[in-house]
C-alpha cells in the first residue's frame, strides 16, 4: 500500500507508524515500523508508549512490572539517538505516556497513579486514584487544551476488582483536570482521543472502536472489529487501530492486526498482520526520528569501536 497521503497529518506526509507489542509465545516482542509498504522491527524493547515532546524530542516509556525490582524506564530521543535515560522506581506497570507541554505524563497502572515527570527526570507531581494497587486499571492518558484525561476500567476500591465477572459497562474516560467522569458505560476502554468528530476510544472488551459526542457522551458511531482493541492513532484520512489475538484461546498462527479505518466512511480499508499476538500501542511520528530510534545508545562511534 504505497500511498504518500496514508500518514498525512495536517498535510505533512513525512510520517511513519510505530507499533509496539508482544507475543505470549515465541520472541516477537518489540517495536515495529510500518511505512505503508512493509513492517520492519526496530528493536526488542517492550514499550508502553512513545510520544513527541514538542518538535525536537521523542519520549519512550518502557514496560515495567512492580517496583522496586522492575522500575519504569524513560528514554528521551533527539534526532541523533538516546539523549537521556531516566529511571522511575515508583512507576509500577507502566501503560501509557503523553506530553502536556511542560511534563511527560505517565500512567502507573500497578499502583493507581498518574505521574508528571520533567524532561530531566524529576517527578513534579503525582495523582493517586482511590483504591489499592491496580484498583481502577488506569491505562490511557490524553492531554488537550490544558486538560488531562485518562481511561480506566472503572472506579473500584480493591486490587483488580474490575476483573470480577459481574462488572460490565464500568469503564470510564475520566477528566482528571476537573475531577469528574467525562464518559461512562464503557467496557475496558483504552486510548481515548478528542478529535473534531468527538471522542474516539477503543472499547476493548467488546472488540469495538467508538465515536462519542464530546458534549453529551452519546454514541455517534461504532465499528465492530475481530479482536481486543488497543492502540489507536490517526492521520488526516485514517484511523489506525490495534486488534490483538485472544491470549486465552490462541490458535496456531494467530497474530495481532493493524486495522486501517477510513475516517470518513467509518469502515476497515486494510488489515496488516504483525509478528506478535498483542498490540500495546500505536503512534505516528515524523520519519526523521526513525534513524535515532534505530541508533538508540549507539551515538559514539569511538565507544562502539572498542
Residue 248 has pLDDT above 80, yes or no: no
pLDDT digits (tens, 9 = 90+) for 167-211: 789 999 999 999 999 999 999 999 999 999 999 999 999 999 999
User: Which CATH architecture describes the domain 15-305?
Assistant: 6 Propeller (2.120)
Q: Which residue has the cell 507541554?
A: 101
Q: Which residue has the cell 500501542?
A: 281
Cell of 128: 493517586
- Check residue 131 and give left, alpha or beta (phi > 0: left; psi -120 to 50: alpha): left
Report which DSSP code applies to 63.
Answer: P
Mean pLDDT over residues 45-52, rounded?
A: 95
CB 149 within 8 A of CB 176: yes
Task: Round to whole Å and give the CA distance between 45 and 47.
Answer: 6
Sheet of strand 171-175: strand arrangement: 138-144, 147-152, 171-175, 180-186
CB 76 within 8 A of CB 53: yes
Q: Given CA atoms 119, 124, 129, 130 in this order, what sign does their dihedral have?
A: positive
pLDDT digits (tens, 9 = 90+) for 273-283: 999 999 999 99
In terms of Cα–Cα distance, which of 234, 279, 220 is closest to 254?
Answer: 279
Task: Round to whole Å and give the CA distance between 280 and 5.
Answer: 25
**For residue 252, what pLDDT band results from cuts at 50, 70 and 90?**
low
Residue 1 has pLDDT above 50, yes or no: no
In terms of Cα–Cα distance, which of 159, 201, 158, 152 is closest to 181?
Answer: 152
Element of type H or E holding 271: strand 267-274
Mean pLDDT over residues 54-75, rounded?
A: 87
Task: Round to whole Å and give the CA distance between 234 and 249.
Answer: 30
Supply the pLDDT for residue 305: 66
pLDDT digits (tens, 9 = 90+) for 24-44: 665 578 999 998 888 999 999
Mean pLDDT over residues 213-230, rounded?
A: 96
Mean pLDDT over residues 234-238, rounded?
A: 96
Name which of 48-57, 63-72, 137-146 the model is least confident about.
Answer: 63-72
State the average pLDDT for the chain: 91
Residue 58 has pLDDT above 60, yes or no: yes
26 burial class (0-12, 13-18, 19+ CB within 10 angstroms)?
Answer: exposed
pLDDT digits (tens, 9 = 90+) for 121-130: 899 999 999 9
Amino acid at each position: 500500500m504505497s500511498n504518500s497521503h496514508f500518514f498525512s497529518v495536517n498535510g505533512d506526509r513525512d510520517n511513519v507508524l510505530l507499533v509496539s507489542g508482544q507475543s505470549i509465545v515465541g520472541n516477537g516482542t518489540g517495536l515495529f515500523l510500518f511505512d505503508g509498504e512493509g513492517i520492519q522491527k526496530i528493536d526488542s524493547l517492550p514499550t508502553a508508549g512513545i510520544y513527541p515532546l514538542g518538535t525536537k524530542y521523542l519520549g519512550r516509556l518502557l514496560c515495567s512490572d512492580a517496583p522496586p525490582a522492575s522500575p519504569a524506564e524513560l528514554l528521551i530521543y533527539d534526532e541523533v539517538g538516546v539523549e537521556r535515560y531516566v529511571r522511575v522506581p515508583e512507576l509500577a506497570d507502566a501503560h501509557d505516556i503523553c506530553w502536556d507541554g511542560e511534563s511527560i505524563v505517565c500512567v502507573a497502572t500497578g499502583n493507581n497513579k498518574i505521574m508528571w515527570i520533567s524532561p530531566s527526570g524529576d517527578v513534579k507531581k503525582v495523582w493517586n486514584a482511590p483504591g489499592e494497587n491496580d484498583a481502577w486499571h488506569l491505562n490511557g492518558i490524553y492531554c488537550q487544551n490544558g486538560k488531562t484525561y485518562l481511561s480506566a476500567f472503572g472506579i473500584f476500591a480493591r486490587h483488580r476488582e474490575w476483573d470480577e465477572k459481574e462488572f460490565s459497562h464500568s469503564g470510564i474516560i475520566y477528566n482528571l483536570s476537573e475531577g469528574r467522569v467525562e464518559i461512562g458505560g464503557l467496557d475496558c476502554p483504552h486510548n481515548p482521543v478528542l478529535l473534531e468528530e468527538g471522542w474516539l476510544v477503543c472499547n476493548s472488551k467488546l472488540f469495538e472502536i467508538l465515536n462519542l459526542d464530546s458534549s453529551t457522551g452519546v454514541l455517534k458511531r461504532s465499528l465492530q472489529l475481530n479482536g481486543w482493541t488497543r492502540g489507536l492513532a490517526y492521520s488526516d484520512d485514517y484511523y489506525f487501530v490495534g486488534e490483538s489475538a485472544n491470549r486465552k484461546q490462541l490458535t496456531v498462527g494467530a497474530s495481532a492486526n493493524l486495522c486501517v479505518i477510513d475516517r470518513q466512511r467509518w469502515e476497515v480499508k486494510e488489515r496488516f498482520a504483525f509478528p506478535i499476538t498483542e498490540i500495546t500501542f500505536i503512534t505516528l511520528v515524523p520519519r526523521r526520528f526513525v534513524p535515532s530510534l534505530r541508533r538508540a545508545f549507539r551515538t559514539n562511534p569511538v565507544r562502539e569501536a572498542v
